[in-house]
Amino acid sequence: MKAILLFLFTSSLLFSQAKDSSAKGALTPGGEKASSQDSSATVLDDELDKLFYQYYFYQKEPDFEDLLKEQNQTIKSNLIRAIKNEVFIRDPQNFQKASTEIDSPDAKIKFKQVSRYSIWMKKIKKEMGYIYFTDFMYIIQYDKYIALVLYEVDPKKHLLKPTQVELILKKEGRKESE
């Protein structure tokens, strides 16, 4: 009998405390704040996980423009190193000249990430069956050199060597039609 009375007494206390806390602006059963709280002080759920990620990995509020510039510089240096290594192997007599031109700040280097689902990449795969496509494939062009560079992991994040490079030397007699 004492146990039943004790149970009823504690449950009534808990029930009365729940009513009091809901009147003070605590969370409602729907998970939203009561109207007594300032709605401008709340942060959307989508922004909280983004905020946590940024502080955890960058230890500060990152400037996304700086992050994109850094990633662009990392991918560019990875691709330039890959094409220079391939030119050293395939065109050693022009390596010194090409290397200095590629390193110059006014070098006209084009690069683009390509997808394995592109119609042109499908044709390349059909013709060159030995190429193993990855999620990180890039085409880089400088002067008469065009290379398909493949990486196993994202080259925007780390300096690394490519898993495969296919270099093409454009013929001098053919003109580029643009």
- Where do the domains of the chain lie? 64-169
pLDDT of amino acid 13: 61
For residue 141, which amino acid is it?
Q
**Residue 149 pLDDT > 90:** yes
Largest CA distance in the chain: 104
The model's pLDDT over 11-54, given as tens digits with 9 standing for 90+, comes to 666 666 555 555 444 444 444 444 445 444 455 566 777 777 77
Quick one: residue 25, left, alpha or beta (phi over 0 = left, psi -120 to 50 = alpha)? Answer: left
DSSP 8-state secondary structure symbol assigned to residue 33: B
pLDDT of amino acid 106: 80
Tell me phi and psi for residue 27, to 5 degrees.
Answer: -65, 140
CB burial readout 98-110, b (16+ within 10 A) else e: beeebeeeeeeee
pLDDT of amino acid 40: 46
